[in-house]
Amino acid sequence: MAVYTRLSEEEFKSITDAYGLGEFLAATEIAQGVENSNYFFDTKKKSKKKRSILTIYEQRVDTDKLPFYLGMMEHLHGKGIPCPLPLKTKDSQQFIGIRDKKAAIVTFLEGQSVRRIGNAHIREVGGWLARMHLAAEGFTLRRENGLSVAGWHKLIGKIGAQADEIASDLSRMLTDEFVWLAERWPTHLPEGVIHADLFPDNVFFKGDSLSGVIDFYFACNDLFLYELAIVLNAWCFEQGTEFNITKAGILLNAYHTVRPIGPQELEALPILCRGAALRFLLTRAHDLIFPQTGALVIPHDPMEYYRKLQFHQQVRHHGEYGL
């Protein structure tokens, strides 16, 4: 269960009053997720019941960047991109303070994440991602990606030899892979705001149609194709190990139809896929070695991304991804 901060009924009522939501009915813990404390937040105003999502920001989210995260969602929602709309308090604030932490409320999205990812789901995700990249143009705030190349170097230094407790000689492999990628990492490709954490748990569907995307708290400015590499890793492997070239081709073509992928981007795709795999291998290894306290959170298996990285290390041409 990923709830770190449990509030009293009086505290929930104070939040309800701050947002002018009427009568507080209930707050139900949401078990999914590992970064923040989340609640289904039920209120009633003028006999009309309303469900929202209350988020209390915990360890990893830099709350100084909340104007970026919340402003980005508001910007995208205004552009017709299905995502939560942040609510504002009665005095027009984006968030409030509670228990020496910050909290915000966003609208509730209908739909649910899928357990069996079909080709139609992949196609929807590719199209949504390209539309989101285009819609974010004009958003003036900026946030650098702290989990890109420079951030990997810091993580490797922190993990150190303890990585070998996960797999034999893993620490050396992480260092060698980082050096290889740092020497080749592209810097002059199209970029803008990316979601940066578009995993299946964060995408809701009604049937085969995408109904919304949540959890923008890793959003940042980075290469568009790096985001596509993250999504390819997250959506196009069966049971975490076997690459599905059909799904990858559907993803890339759906994206390309909306925002054409340039030749330089295609050439860099194998490198970016390796980088995306290394990024999640590192953060999962870090969370396994340094577990968070205060909640019953089971860390994700870093070896899943070790195996994905091994696959990408064998790729020599972007055509091997199905485009």
pLDDT, average across residues 178-200:
97
Pairing of strands 48-56, 237-238: unpaired
d(CA 21, CA 312): 49
Residue 178, amino acid:
F
What SS3 state is found at 147? coil
| Per-residue pLDDT at 308 | 97
| CATH code of domain 119-321 | 3.90.1200.10
pTM of the model: 0.94
| Per-residue pLDDT at 16 | 97
d(CA 311, CA 300): 19
Instruction: Tell me the backbone φ, ψ of residue 36, rounded to 5 degrees.
Output: -130, 170
Strand partners, 194: 220
Cα dihedral 78/128/54/137 (nearest 10): -40
Integer Rg of the chain from CA: 20
Query: Is pLDDT of 1 > 60?
Result: no
Decide if 35 contacts 58 (C-beta within 8 A).
yes
pLDDT, average across residues 186-209:
96
Query: Is pLDDT of 294 > 80?
Result: no
pLDDT, average across residues 21-46:
89
**7-16: per-residue pLDDT in tens?**
999 999 999 9
Name the residue ranges covered by the structural domains of the chain: 9-107, 119-321
**46-87: per-residue pLDDT in tens?**
999 999 999 999 866 778 899 999 999 999 999 999 999 999
Which CATH number is correct for 9-107, 3.30.390.50, 3.40.50.9100, 3.30.1330.10, 3.30.200.20?
3.30.200.20
**217-276: per-residue pLDDT in tens?**
999 999 999 999 999 999 999 986 799 999 999 999 999 999 999 999 999 999 999 999
Decide if 166 contacts 292 (C-beta within 8 A).
no
**Inter-CA distances, 146 with 152, 154, 189, 278, Å:** 9, 10, 18, 14
DSSP state of 156: H
| Per-residue pLDDT at 70 | 96
pLDDT, average across residues 155-166:
96
d(CA 291, CA 280): 15
